[in-house]
Amino acid sequence: MIQNDLLLKSLQGEPVNRPPVWMMRQAGRFLPSYQRLREKYDFFTRCQTPELVADITCLPVDELGVDAAILFSDILVVPQAMGAHIDMQEGRGPVIHQPIEKPEDVNRLEEPDVTHTLGYVFQGIRATLEKLNGRVPLIGFAGAPWTLLCYLVEGKGSAGFEQARAFCYRYPDAAHALLEKITRVTIAYLQHQVKAGVHCVQVFDSWAGLLGPEGFRQFAEPYLQQIARSLSAFCPVILFPKGAWFGLASLCHSGAAAIGIDWQTDAGFARKATNHQLTLQGNLDPVVLLTDPATIRRQTFRMIQAFGKEKYIANLGHGILPQTPVENARAFVQAVQSFSESWID
Question: Which are the catalytic amino acids?
Answer: 25, 29, 38, 74, 151
- To the question of whether residue 165 is assigned a binding role by annotation, the answer is no
Question: Residues 6 or more apart from 118 whose CB is under 8 A from it?
Answer: 77, 78, 81, 112, 189, 192
- To the question of whether residue 85 is assigned a binding role by annotation, the answer is no
- To the question of whether residue 44 is assigned a binding role by annotation, the answer is yes
- To the question of whether residue 28 is assigned a binding role by annotation, the answer is yes
Q: Which residues of 157-183 are buried (b: 16+ CB within 10 A; e: fewer)?
A: ebeebebbbebbeebeebbbebbebbb
The H or E element that residue 95 is part of is strand 93-97
The 3-state DSSP class for residue 257 equals coil
Question: Residues 6 or more apart from 274 whose CB is under 8 A from it?
Answer: 248, 249, 251, 252, 259, 280
The 3-state DSSP class for residue 234 equals coil
Please answer whether residues 235 and 200 qualify as being in contact, where contact means their C-beta atoms are separated by less than 8 angstroms.
yes
Q: How far is CA 171 from CA 100, 101, 153, in A?
A: 12, 10, 12
- To the question of whether residue 160 is assigned a binding role by annotation, the answer is no
Q: Please work out, in degrees rounded to the nearest 5, the angle formed at the alpha carbon of residue 71 by the alpha carbons of 66 and 75.
A: 125
- To the question of whether residue 157 is assigned a binding role by annotation, the answer is no
Residue 8 dihedral angles phi and psi, to the nearest 5°: -65, -35
- To the question of whether residue 142 is assigned a binding role by annotation, the answer is no
Q: What is the DSSP letter of 21?
A: B
Q: Please work out, in degrees rounded to the nearest 5, the angle formed at the alpha carbon of residue 55 by the alpha carbons of 54 and 61.
A: 95
- To the question of whether residue 27 is assigned a binding role by annotation, the answer is yes
- To the question of whether residue 13 is assigned a binding role by annotation, the answer is no
- To the question of whether residue 126 is assigned a binding role by annotation, the answer is no
Please answer whether residues 147 and 75 qualify as being in contact, where contact means their C-beta atoms are separated by less than 8 angstroms.
yes
CA dihedral 224, 169, 158, 139 (to 10 degrees): 10
- Binding-site residues sit at 25-29, 44, 74, 151, 206, 318
- Binding-site members for substrate are 25-29, 44, 74, 151, 206, 318
